[in-house]
Structure 1
């Protein structure tokens, strides 16, 4: 007589895991491991609400614009196909295929009733301006707005995952559509990551010792989240003989890792160093060589320090056939574009048990973020919190020409009876030729044990746009200010997430 027990997956995100069959018979007991099932899935249902506290009507004559409000409904479903153990090769660590879709829409849009009536724009009615966050699509190459009504092309469905992930002892490859892990490319990418890696030195004492030579190419970017939802589009594109083409954003670099962190009595212990020289480029538009340094030291008693220093030089090509309207000497984000510029990002973080504190400085030398950095800048905080009417979809002047930002944050997390409570507070001061910004934000979230999470952010935000600049820079029929004006950009974020 046999007694069979099946031990199932411990994770809801790994629905089908390894099955273990325990067979007991007279005089013997043995365990036989079955091959895991290939298929697994996960997904989420979510909602995001931004509530702006400034409800003034649009008045282009004095540069007056409200702080927008919007609300979304979002869903995502991902499937995973794991062939790792089927091929049974010691050199192959991972072989997976991922397919996933997302859908959603706006159920609140304050820009539909903001008092403006610009013909041929979102302000003429239709879907308003908040589809800059959710659903807006002007074509893969950004050319559908030629008909004067780009907002009628909204997309509320996207295939965000369609990739192959191969990780081996000597090299890794990931290609297709997948969520990006690159410093300077956030969201989902349509492209490829490739690297060759090998260990060196005393791996017993320094388990992280590794050199990785990597390449990254992206031919599109998308968002599939409850706050941001945009189908794949070309971040940059070129005009060659009157035809728009996407030449792709490319990067190459080397990661040199030394040291390693290990667990010691439930605390991390040890030190690690990352040195990453890199080069990003878009043919005919820019080159951005740079360097990233990260040093972390954990003392084994719940205390630790982590320092990040990174920066790049940026060369923007003068206007030419490829980018006649984007080159050096032109304007972007309501500012002049320098041919040569740079950027520096410094973060110092301290850990003490389940708390942390962080200080940071972010500095542009010239127009360092004119065409690089804004679509994935690892500065350590959310800089898309201003106004949808301004220089971009709520982008702050943190990224503008000659801007300098200092900030401090601190927070912690607590394991409670019904889940995990997390909080964080961030204070920021930004100074730039275009505007001065001050903000203080409080973040609170609670992840319940039933996979439901609730979040709240309250941010006080004051934005002073200076004379000679336009607080409605992306909108038609607007003018630069003759005197400076200060606007309240304070707002709240409310989030709901259910993962399965």
Structure 2
């Protein structure tokens, strides 16, 4: 009781000096259900679409001061409640989505972790300077997403912003993906980035570079243009060029071995000089929007960058099957792949919708999909999201679907159509 009273007095006292506290979190359910739910058969080269469902919960304490200082502490828990791979192939693959951990350096056998201390940082945000250090959810980066263990800082004025970023390791603490902090995505190494942003919120030019020791260096340039064309009409345009220079024989792999010239995703040759081009054009009108996106790789540009962080603005590229090479990863980030996307939607406050169509063509496979996404606020902080997607994946002769069987003698079509559902209660 005495400790409780002392703690209460401290909270009240600090609040009097402009310190605000917020205790909150969420409880969520997620489910993905594949329509092609037959049995996996490696010998017969049958690769169905898996299904799984999970229960997720998170609790966080956020502290903010009037002088710009902030801190947070939070944990999350997630558990599988359904995994179709038990009956489809006799081996549980659902932990590849929920609970997978490959050790800090990403070089260990997978083990399941259902709890993550995902949020623990201190930071400062001011008019000319800011920083954040610890564990926090990254934002505003073109080529890095999810939760970061590391730090970032910036110096800016009205004309420019100079920024730096470092990731010691990365985690995913969400209802559909749940991985503890690991360096798996860059095979045991950290990631760094830095850049210079010039201009305003309306017109901005960014020059930056990402990199990882013994893995890659990727200079990039970005141009963004946002303009109001009328009271209920606006335009958003983004163009990004990324130029990864890959180490052809990366060092420092588990056991001291190199990758022998292949990447960690689809097994393609790891070329040294590669490029990625991304273009997005979106028009907003009244409560609606419509846009197009183009994504093109020359060479194996996304071997190390582009798979665990991309500029697609909310579009999910992990939508295939656990039985496929890359474990659900779309081939749109594959070698020499080209993807065109068109979408239209509306947002009315409590209800939003979107229809998105995509065509991907690459040496390994062609993909065609059409997805309808619906978001509905049910009551106060309770909301629901549903995505129904038709997805046809054709893997070409000479490639293996799952990476285990021998290469295909002829093209093989696989139905990756699915439905995903989210039920979210925030508090």
Shift of 1:109: 0.2
Matches within 5 A, 1:81-480: 81-82=63-64, 84-85=65-66, 92=67, 94-116=68-90, 123=91, 128-145=92-109, 150=110, 153-181=111-139, 182-199=141-158, 210-236=159-185, 246-258=188-200, 260=201, 272-319=202-249, 321-322=251-252, 324-326=257-259, 328=261, 332-380=265-313, 381-415=315-349, 420-473=350-403, 477-480=404-407
Shift of 1:393: 2.8
C-alpha separation between the residues in 2 aligned to 1:165 and 1:472? Answer: 43
1:25 paired residue number: none
Q: Could you tell me whether the CA contact under 8 Å between 2:265 and 2:326 is conserved in 1? A: no
C-alpha separation between the residues in 1 aligned to 2:250 and 2:240? Answer: 30
C-alpha separation between the residues in 1 aligned to 2:80 and 2:352? Answer: 28
Structure 1, residues 379-425: CA drift from partner, whole Å, max 9, x if none?
2421111111112231000010001000100000124xxxx110000
C-alpha separation between the residues in 1 aligned to 2:180 and 2:89? Answer: 29
Shift of 1:256: 1.1
The DSSP-based 3-state class of the residue aligned with 2:249 is coil
Change in 2 beyond 3 A, CA 1:454/1:330: closer
- Pair 1:56 & 2:33 matched: no
C-alpha separation between the residues in 2 aligned to 1:458 and 1:237? Answer: 32
Change in 2 beyond 3 A, CA 1:322/1:115: closer
Task: From the CA coordinates, give the structure whose radius of gyration is larger.
Answer: 1
1:490 paired residue number: 417
Change in 2 beyond 3 A, CA 1:43/1:99: same
Change in 2 beyond 3 A, CA 1:352/1:284: same
Q: Could you tell me whether the CA contact under 8 Å between 2:248 and 2:270 is conserved in 1? A: no
Shift of 1:56: 1.5
TM-score where L is the length of structure 1:
0.79
Change in 2 beyond 3 A, CA 1:465/1:452: same
* Structure 1 unaligned blocks of 5 or more: 1-15, 20-32, 86-91, 117-122, 200-209, 239-245, 261-271
C-alpha separation between the residues in 1 aligned to 2:177 and 2:265? Answer: 22
Structure 1, residues 362-395: CA drift from partner, whole Å, max 9, x if none?
0000111111111111124211111111122310
Q: Could you tell me whether the CA contact under 8 Å between 2:248 and 2:271 is conserved in 1? A: no
Structure 1, residues 297-348: CA drift from partner, whole Å, max 9, x if none?
1124110111110021111112154355336456741322211111000000
Change in 2 beyond 3 A, CA 1:489/1:321: closer
* Structure 2 unaligned blocks of 5 or more: 1-10
Change in 2 beyond 3 A, CA 1:346/1:330: closer
2:5 paired residue number: none
Q: Could you tell me whether the CA contact under 8 Å between 2:120 and 2:136 is conserved in 1? A: yes
Q: Could you tell me whether the CA contact under 8 Å between 1:60 and 1:479 is conserved in 2? A: no
Structure 1, residues 264-295: CA drift from partner, whole Å, max 9, x if none?
xxxxxxxx111111111111110100111110
Change in 2 beyond 3 A, CA 1:376/1:236: closer
C-alpha separation between the residues in 1 aligned to 2:263 and 2:183? Answer: 20
Change in 2 beyond 3 A, CA 1:433/1:320: closer
Shift of 1:134: 0.8
TM-score where L is the length of structure 2:
0.92
The DSSP-based 3-state class of the residue aligned with 1:112 is helix
2:8 paired residue number: none
Q: Could you tell me whether the CA contact under 8 Å between 2:28 and 2:423 is conserved in 1? A: yes
Shift of 1:257: 2.4
| Equivalent residues, number | 412
C-alpha separation between the residues in 2 aligned to 1:106 and 1:329? Answer: 33
